[in-house]
Chains A and B, each alone.
Chain A
Amino acid sequence: MLKTFRIGGIHPKDQKISAGSAIQPIAIPNQVIIPLGQHIGAPCQPVVKKGDTVKVGTLIGKAVGFVSANIHSSVSGTVLKIDRSVDASGYRRDAIFIKVEGDEWEESIDRSPDLKKECTLSSKDILDKIAAAGIVGMGGATFPTHVKLTPPPGLTPEILIINGVECEPWLTSDHRLMLEKTEEIMVGITIVMKALNVDKAIIGIENNKKDAIGKFAEYTKNYPGISIQALKVQYPQGGEKQLIDALTGRQVPSGALPISVGAVVQNVGTILAIYEAVQKNKPLVERVITVTGKDVKQPCNILSRLGIPVAILIDMAGGLPETTGKIVSGGPMMGKALATMDVPVTKGTSGILIIPTLEAKRKAMKDCIRCAKCVSICPMGLNPTLLMNLTEFEVWDGAEKQRITDCIECGSCSYTCPADRPLLDYIRLGKSKVNTIIRARKTNA
Chain B
Amino acid sequence: MSILLTAVVTLGVIGAGSAAILYLIGQKFKVEEDPRIQEVQEALPAANCGGCGFPGCAAFASACVKAETLEGLNCPVGGQPTMDKVAEILGQTAPMTVKKIAVVRCNGTCESRPRTNLYDGVSNCTIAAALYGGNTGCSFGCLGLGDCVESCTFDAIHINPDTMLPEVVEDKCTACGACVKACPKDIIELRKQGPKSRRIYVSCVNEEKGGVARKSCDVACIGCSKCQQACPFEAITIENNLAYIIDDKCRLCRKCVPVCPTNSILELNFPPRKDKSPKEEAVTVDA
Contacts and interface: CB of A to CB of B under 8 A. Distances in A.
Given A339-B116, A432-B130, 17 more contacts: A84-B208, A89-B131, A89-B133, A90-B139, A92-B139, A92-B208, A92-B212, A336-B132, A339-B117, A360-B120, A361-B120, A362-B121, A422-B121, A425-B127, A426-B122, A426-B127, A428-B130
Interface string A297-326: 000000000000000000000000000000
A432 B121 CA distance: 18
Which of A91, A361, A426, A428 has most chain B Cβ within 10 Å?
Answer: A91
Interface in A387-445: 422, 425-426, 428-429, 432
Nearest to A432: B130
A89 B212 contact: no
Contact of A362 (B117, B120, B135, B208): B120
B132 A339 contact: yes
A90 B126 contact: no
Interface string B125-151: 011001111110001000000000000
Given A84-B212, A426-B127, A429-B126, A90 B120 contact: no
Given A84-B208, A339-B117, A429 B132 contact: no
A90 B133 contact: yes
Contacts of B121: 362, 422, 425
Interface in A89-145: 89-92
B124 interface: yes
A340 interface: yes
27 contacts: A84-B212, A89-B132, A89-B133, A90-B133, A90-B134, A91-B132, A91-B133, A91-B139, A92-B133, A92-B139, A92-B208, A336-B132, A339-B117, A339-B135, A340-B116, A360-B120, A361-B120, A362-B121, A422-B121, A425-B121, A425-B122, A425-B124, A428-B127, A428-B130, A429-B124, A429-B127, A429-B130
Nearest to B117: A339
Interface in B91-127: 116-117, 120-122, 124, 126-127
Closest 3 pairs (CB-CB, A-B): A90-B133, A90-B132, A89-B132
Contacts of A337: 132
Which of A339, A428, A432 has most chain B Cβ within 10 Å?
Answer: A339
Interface of B: 116-117, 120-122, 124, 126-127, 130-135, 139, 208, 212
Interface string A191-202: 000000000000
A445 B211 CA distance: 46
A281 to B, nearest CB: 37
B133 A339 contact: yes
Contacts of A340: 116-117
Interface in A333-368: 336-337, 339-340, 360-362
Which of B116, B121, B131, B208 has most chain A Cβ within 10 Å?
Answer: B131
Contacts of A89: 131-133
- The A contact surface, by secondary structure, is mixed
Contacts of B135: 339
A322 to B, nearest CB: 17
A385 B100 CA distance: 40
Interface of A: 84, 86, 89-92, 336-337, 339-340, 360-362, 422, 425-426, 428-429, 432
Contacts of A422: 121-122
Nearest to B120: A361
Contacts of A92: 133, 139, 208, 212
A340 B212 CA distance: 15
A102 to B, nearest CB: 31
A385 to B, nearest CB: 15
Contacts of A339: 116-117, 132-133, 135
Nearest to B207: A92
A360 to B, nearest CB: 7
B64 to A, nearest CB: 26
A361 B117 CA distance: 13
A362 B131 CA distance: 16
A336 B121 CA distance: 13
A340 B122 CA distance: 21
A407 to B, nearest CB: 14
Contacts of B122: 422, 425-426
Contacts of A84: 208, 212
Contacts of B132: 89-91, 336-337, 339
Contacts of A428: 127, 130
A362 B119 CA distance: 11
Contacts of A90: 132-134, 139
Contacts of B212: 84, 92
A251 B100 CA distance: 55
A363 B61 CA distance: 48
A361 B132 CA distance: 17
A137 to B, nearest CB: 21
Contacts of B131: 89, 336
A305 B235 CA distance: 49
A84 B208 CA distance: 9
Nearest to A388: B122
A361 B133 CA distance: 19
B117 to A, nearest CB: 5
Contacts of A425: 121-122, 124, 127
Contacts of A361: 120
Contacts of B120: 360-362
Nearest to A422: B122
Nearest to A360: B120
Contacts of B130: 428-429, 432
Contacts of A336: 131-132
A419 to B, nearest CB: 14
A339 B127 CA distance: 16
A248 B24 CA distance: 64
B137 to A, nearest CB: 9
A91 B129 CA distance: 10
A89 B130 CA distance: 9
A90 B122 CA distance: 18
Nearest to A339: B117
Contacts of B127: 425-426, 428-429
A100 B188 CA distance: 44
A339 B137 CA distance: 9
A428 B130 CA distance: 9
Contacts of B208: 84, 92
B145 to A, nearest CB: 12
A74 B121 CA distance: 36
B104 to A, nearest CB: 21
Which of B116, B122, B134, B212 has most chain A Cβ within 10 Å?
Answer: B122
